[in-house]
Structure 1
Amino acid sequence: MPRWEPGARERLVLAAVDLFTEQGYDDTTVAQIAERAGVTRSTFFRHFSDKREVLVAGQESLSRLLAEGITEAPSDATPLEAVGAGLARASGAMGPHNRELGPRLQAAVAASAELQERDALKSVGMAAAMTEALVGRGVPETAAHLAAEMGVLAFKRGYARWSEGERSDDDTLAPHAADALAELVEASALLR
């Protein structure tokens, strides 16, 4: 089996999600994941510290993209407009691979308490990155945190709709995330 094949990281993620779904998280080993992906165990450990880490692959990049979009939003953007810019930036990095993986990933997470905990930590990381970017724009911390939490919820709702919805070549995550954020803003007006 060749070393350093291109796409090893993506193949590892797909193999892990498939195995978690087929036989459960607890019954899946790193060796099985590596074998299914066509790589060695050492290649697995070059990419991930353990099998839990497979499911948060890309979290750092996602958080960075969200924060960059917020930071680069026009200076007169409201906090939620800046969050919308962050969602648009991160959504642009999501392709067909992410869309196909969504439902399978959700099924694997739903079947494991440990993975649910890991997924929650992913949300915390996304919110922290957006909060920091908003505070950097001069948004008061409480407002920044609230806007960031709305951004996380919008991303999750938009991603769920996108990954589970009808497929078309020109359908991207961005409008789904934007629609979800608009719905949350509208719903928040009912809280007064």
Structure 2
Amino acid sequence: MARWVPDTPERLQRAALELFAERGYEQTTATEIAQAVGLTERTFFRHFSDKREVLFHGQQSLTDAFVSGVRHAAPDLQAVELAASAIRSAAFLFPDEKRSQSRARQRVIDGNPALQEREALKLIRLGAALADALRARGVDDLAAEVAAQTGVMVFGIAFARWIRDGEQRSFGQIVDEVSRQIGDVVRPLHTGT
């Protein structure tokens, strides 16, 4: 009987990324991923519905962190400030030691249109959850949608910069920079100039 080993999903993720980089996403099977860490295909499917989900494991944690950031934010914040709080509350999911794994994951996604579609769907769902959390805080529909979409855009740009080769700044530092830059870009819309 196989002995239980902790962190099985993470081990499967690391093995999958290595195999995807070595052989390609389409050429790698769930069985090969499981065998790479000494597990069976059945164990793989206990943790993931298919090999695609190896790349998207943790999506619920990201959504939960965003929603928690809105729920626990100061009561007097505006909608966009609440969205910024959501992003900051998720920054712990992107520690520096996970940057190389995130880069490898993104390379796999960038090389496969079906995975790109799944990544886009993830961001849409994240935006919908953020908008719902903002509405639950009493933000009106339009402000909730604008703030949620802005928040997801800031997150996406910050993530892309965080995984760039040679980038050393923390995810939180990059989020702050992107937030300021987006504010500068859209300010003329507000002032009418």
Q: What residue identity is the alignment partner of 2:151?
A: G
Tell me the equivalent position of 2:171: 173
Pairing 1:94–2:90 present: no
Contact 2:155 2:175 in 1 (8 A): yes
Tell me the equivalent position of 1:44: 44
Tell me the equivalent position of 1:184: 182
- 5+ residue gaps, structure 2: none
Q: What residue identity is the alignment partner of 1:189?
A: R
SS at match of 2:163: helix
Tell me the equivalent position of 1:135: 135
SS at match of 2:25: coil
Q: What residue identity is the alignment partner of 1:174?
A: G
- In structure 2, what is the Cα distance between the partners aligned to 1:167 and 1:157? 13
Pick closer, same or farther for the CA change 1:157–1:167 going to 2, 3 Å.
closer
Pairing 1:54–2:54 present: yes
- In structure 2, what is the Cα distance between the partners aligned to 1:72 and 1:88? 12
Structure 1 residue runs of 4 or more that deviate by more than 6 Å after TM superposition: none
Root-mean-square deviation (CA, aligned residues, Å) is: 1.9
Larger Rg: 2
1:47 offset after TM fit, Å?
A: 1.1
Tell me the equivalent position of 2:109: 109
1:139 offset after TM fit, Å?
A: 1.1
- In structure 2, what is the Cα distance between the partners aligned to 1:7 and 1:147? 35
Contact 1:3 1:39 in 2 (8 A): no
1:97 offset after TM fit, Å?
A: 4.3
Tell me the equivalent position of 2:125: 125
Q: What residue identity is the alignment partner of 2:131?
A: T
Contact 1:67 1:129 in 2 (8 A): yes
1:39 offset after TM fit, Å?
A: 2.1
More moved, 3-12 vs 62-71: 3-12
Contact 1:158 1:177 in 2 (8 A): yes
Contact 2:30 2:44 in 1 (8 A): yes
- In structure 2, what is the Cα distance between the partners aligned to 1:145 and 1:65? 18
Normalization by structure 2: what TM-score? Answer: 0.89
Post-superposition Cα deviations, 1:118-143, rounded to whole Å, max 9, x if no partner, equal 11111012111111111111111122
- In structure 2, what is the Cα distance between the partners aligned to 1:177 and 1:39? 38
Tell me the equivalent position of 1:24: 24
Q: What residue identity is the alignment partner of 1:74?
A: A
Pick closer, same or farther for the CA change 1:40–1:186 going to 2, 3 Å.
same
SS at match of 1:73: coil
- In structure 1, what is the Cα distance between the partners aligned to 2:2 and 2:170? 34
1:2 offset after TM fit, Å?
A: 4.4
1:52 offset after TM fit, Å?
A: 1.2
Residue-pair matches, total: 190
Normalization by structure 1: what TM-score? Answer: 0.90
SS at match of 1:92: helix
SS at match of 2:93: coil
Pick closer, same or farther for the CA change 1:97–1:159 going to 2, 3 Å.
same
